[in-house]
Amino acid sequence: MKIKNILLTLCTSLLLTNVAAHAKEVKIGMAIDDLRLERWQKDRDIFVKKAESLGAKVFVQSANGNEETQMSQIENMINRGVDVLVIIPYNGQVLSNVVKEAKQEGIKVLAYDRMINDADIDFYISFDNEKVGELQAKALVDIVPQGNYFLMGGSPVDNNAKLFRAGQMKVLKPYVDSGKIKVVGDQWVDGWLPENALKIMENALTANNNKIDAVVASNDATAGGAIQALSAQGLSGKVAISGQDADLAGIKRIAAGTQTMTVYKPIT
């Protein structure tokens, strides 16, 4: 699952091609969904360091979870004459036109971790996202094989969120069908933001009179928001909850006993 080395190898190949063809400094535009999330901060730092060591110049911009902002930022990178675009899309369903513009300018386009739909991209690099979902659900059912489960998905416009859910349900479905597990709620968290997860979890606890035994949270950020709501009801550490990305905050919560697990996805 080490996608970063693969990505850098692909970028290097593309860059060397451009260097040979144009004999100029290679410029990479990195358009990131939302740098407020720790996951993307780590990826940015590793990517920029490696690219610069290869002699490339990297322009990084964060859309802060806004699709219109991201489209504008990508257009700006095209106008600046980048040679390669590395895009972590906020919404992969709305970028086909800007990708078309980039391709018309001879710019190579790589979709990083999230698919860009209906677009002529050069590469798509990601993890086995269904497997991630399976690992999350398996960890929870091993601890809580029966009871009330709340499903907390990621951003509704992120295709990966749906893949995580597919993997989670592969594990959960037999338990649901047998009646051992009851799904008492299913919500998607806009932007993967913890403050949105907090509100969702507060409402879920109210709707279920605090009778929730496990929360299938799809990443550490949403798990963090959910755990804030659980803590307010004296339930942190008593309700099993999954995560993903091995964020520092998530690891600290695991050490403290308030988060059950995370999925570490090495990128170096």
The predicted-structure confidence for 77-113, as pLDDT tens digits, reads as follows 999 999 999 999 999 999 999 999 999 999 999 999 9
Q: 23 with 7, same domain?
A: yes
Q: In the chain, what percentage of residues exceed pLDDT 70?
A: 91
Q: Are residues 108 and 191 in the same domain?
A: no
Q: How confident is the model at residue 10 (pLDDT cuts 50, 70, 90)?
A: low
pLDDT digits (tens, 9 = 90+) for 39-67: 999 999 999 999 999 999 999 999 999 99
pLDDT at 247 exceeding the cut of 70:
yes
250 or 21: which leads in pLDDT = 250
**120 & 148 share domain:** no
Residues 136, 244 share a domain:
yes
Instruction: Tally the domains of the chain.
Output: 2
Domain boundary among 93, 125, 157: 125
Same domain (yes/no): 98, 20 = yes
Q: What is the mean pLDDT of the chain?
A: 93
Tally DSSP H helices, then E strands, for the chain. Answer: 9, 9
Q: Examine the domain organization and report whether 27 and 117 are in the same domain.
A: yes
DSSP 48: H
Residue-number span of the structural domain to which 8 is assigned: 3-125
DSSP 232: H
pLDDT bin (cut points 50, 70, 90) of residue 25 is confident
* Single residue among 125, 155, 174 that ends a domain in this structure: 125
**Whether residue 218 has pLDDT greater than 70:** yes
CB neighbours of residue 79 within 10 Å:
10
Distance CA 255, CA 138 (A): 20
CATH of the domain at 31: 3.40.50.2300
Q: Are residues 117 and 80 in the same domain?
A: yes
Asked whether the beta carbons of 74 and 95 are under 8 A apart, the reply is: yes
Domain end (from 104, 125, 146): 125
